[in-house]
Amino acid sequence: MRKLHYHRVDVFTDRAFGGNPLAVFTNGRGVSAETMQAIAKEFNLSETTFVLPPDDPAHDWRVRIFTPGSELPMAGHPTVGTSFILAREHLVETKQDGEVLITLEEGVGPVPVRLEFEAGLPAYAEMSQPLPTFGPRFKDPKAIADMLSLEVADVTNTGLPYEVVSCGVPFLFVCVQGLEQMRRIRFRTDVFERVAAEVGVPGLFVFAREVESFEAQIHSRMFAPGAGILEDPATGGASGPLGCFLFRHGAVSRRAPVNFVSEQGIEMGRPSYIRIKIEHEGDEITGVKVGGKCHYMGEGFIEV
């Protein structure tokens, strides 16, 4: 038996029991991929991460990310939360105040992360994501409405397409009319399986431009039964593509840079606040950044 040490952190929140919970194993050396996957399934969180020495000594650490059902090449809340834990445990450079830049190796390649410190502790983490790729558009509003248990008008009156966007992991983006529709969503996995097979995505990201909190500009929900996640309280890996989608279709102000907050997880009782920044030159996106705060929840051991 081997005793593995882990940390628990709530990501994209500044308080306990908010945001998206994450388990971080800071020493993944010698743990097989099969065991990593089994541990992620045992924890049954949206994601669990394992930290390893980097392949390139110029980088800080390599991070493997697992949902209960599969390994991911990149994800937002695991990157932000793992960076926070590495800083808190002094496994990367730290400062009393100011910022530090680190680089994590993930399945998509090197991922830069900017850490802000206050009184010697990490206060904010912001990751850079790969530039977006825009995939197919789904053409059947009736299937979208059926998948969400809404009326067709609820998903057509926004004037925005149903489009796949990826900054490492693809998601299908759907805008609905407002908060009332967001609260009425009853997600149907049987319909999602048909839609996902057509456009090739593990998750559906639904949003509205009506919000509950004063600091947010977008209200979001994400469903990914294909990855073992019925609903996710905070999805950093989809928030970068969300910003790119909104920028592409003129749904956010095009000042440079685009900078706004997405609120997510409210329907789950885990409010999360994700800051999204889209850098651009004219119509060309030149940078995608996603960040937020974290709240440390504790640590423990698992024997495998």
Per-residue model confidence (pLDDT) at position 93: 96
Per-residue model confidence (pLDDT) at position 263: 98
Residues 184 and 130: their CA atoms lie apart, in Å, by 33
Q: Both tokens of residue 154?
A: 């609820």
Per-residue model confidence (pLDDT) at position 238: 97
Residue in this structure with the two tokens 């969300």, named with its chain if needed: 242
Topology (CATH) of 3-129+293-303: Diaminopimelate Epimerase; Chain A, domain 1 (3.10.310)
133-291 matches 3-129+293-303 in CATH topology: yes
263 is catalytic: no
Per-residue model confidence (pLDDT) at position 226: 81
Per-residue model confidence (pLDDT) at position 227: 82
Q: Both tokens of residue 77?
A: 């809340």
Per-residue model confidence (pLDDT) at position 253: 80
Per-residue model confidence (pLDDT) at position 185: 98
- DSSP alpha helix (H) spans, the chain: 33-43, 76-88, 141-148, 152-156, 179-184, 189-199, 236-248
The domain locations on the chain are 3-129+293-303, 133-291
Per-residue model confidence (pLDDT) at position 256: 73
Superfamily of domain 133-291 in CATH is Diaminopimelate Epimerase; Chain A, domain 1 (3.10.310.10)
Low-confidence ranges of the chain (pLDDT < 70): none
At residue 152, what is the residue type? V
**Which position among 34, 42, 47, 105 bears the catalytic label?**
47
